[in-house]
Amino acid sequence: MTSPLEQKKIKIAGPSVVTANRTWDGIVVYRTAAKGWSAELSEAAIVRNSDEARALLAESIADDVGAIGPYIAPVQIGEDGKILPGNLREQIRRTGVTIGQPAQV
């Protein structure tokens, strides 16, 4: 399989992070500046241009035992500096399903 790095030219429109799912349990994680993974979006490393994005993605892909399916996802930076998901999909990945889970309703 071609790696996502070769598959497409990496172009980012604004601040972005690398996100993936942790290998052993599958939960949503974000790549941190300390070359690790965190379940907290607030701890994600922010990239602002294609070169940074490519580098962060490359190191994330290399950590295949840590997390799977890494990709670049847009974020928004709030006025208070808070990192927010950049689209509905990422919003749902961060906060969970929008429907209430049966066992909880």
Question: Footprint of another protein on this chain (CB under 8 A)?
Answer: 1, 21, 23-28, 64-65, 68-69, 87-89, 92-93, 96-99, 101-105
CA dist 96 and 2 (Å) reads: 30
Nearest residue (CB) to another protein, 47 versus 86: 86
**Three-state secondary-structure class, residue 68:** strand
Nearest residue (CB) to another protein, 55 versus 69: 69
Nearest residue (CB) to another protein, 48 versus 89: 89
Characterize the bridge pairing of strands 28-31 and 83-85. Answer: unpaired
Least separation in angstroms between residue 20's CB and another protein is 10
Span between the terminal Cα atoms of the chain, in Å: 42
